[in-house]
Amino acid sequence: MSIEESSYPPQFRHHSLHLQDAQLQPSSSSSSLGPDIAVGTDDSVTDPIPIIDLQLIDRERLQEACRSWGLFRLVNHGVPLTILTEIQELAARLFSLPFDTKKELLGSPLSYFWGTPVLTPSGAALGLGVGVGPGKINWVEGLNAPLGKLPQLKTEDPLLSSLRSCLQQYGAHLGRIATSLFHVMSQDLNLQPKAQSGCYISESTGFVRVYRYPHYPLEISNLGMDAHTDSSLLTILCQDDVGGLEVIRGGEWIPVRPTPGTLVINLGDMMQAISDDEYKSAIHRVKINEHKDRISIGYFVFPGEDAVIQGSNYRPFKYSEFQEQVQKDVKTLGFKVGLERFKIIQ
What's the rounded Cα separation, in Å, for the pair 10 and 297?
A: 23
294 is catalytic: yes
The CA distance from 340 to 176, in Å, is: 31
Provide the terminal-to-terminal Cα distance of the chain, rounded to the nearest Å. Answer: 58
- Please tell me which residue in 257, 294, 315, 341 is annotated as part of the active site: 294
Q: Which residues pair with 119 in a beta bridge?
A: 125
Residues 159 and 149: their CA atoms lie apart, in Å, by: 18
DSSP conformation class of 302: E
> If DSSP states are collapsed to H, E and C, what string results for 210-268?
EEEECCCCCCCCCCCEEEECCCCCEEEEEECCCCCEEEEECCEEEECCCCCCCEEEEEC
Query: Using CA atoms, how far apart are residues 29 and 269, in angstroms rounded to an integer?
Result: 19
| DSSP code at position 196 | I
Per-position DSSP letters for 16-45, written without gaps between them = HHTTTGGG-----TTTT--S--EE---TTS
Active site residues: 294
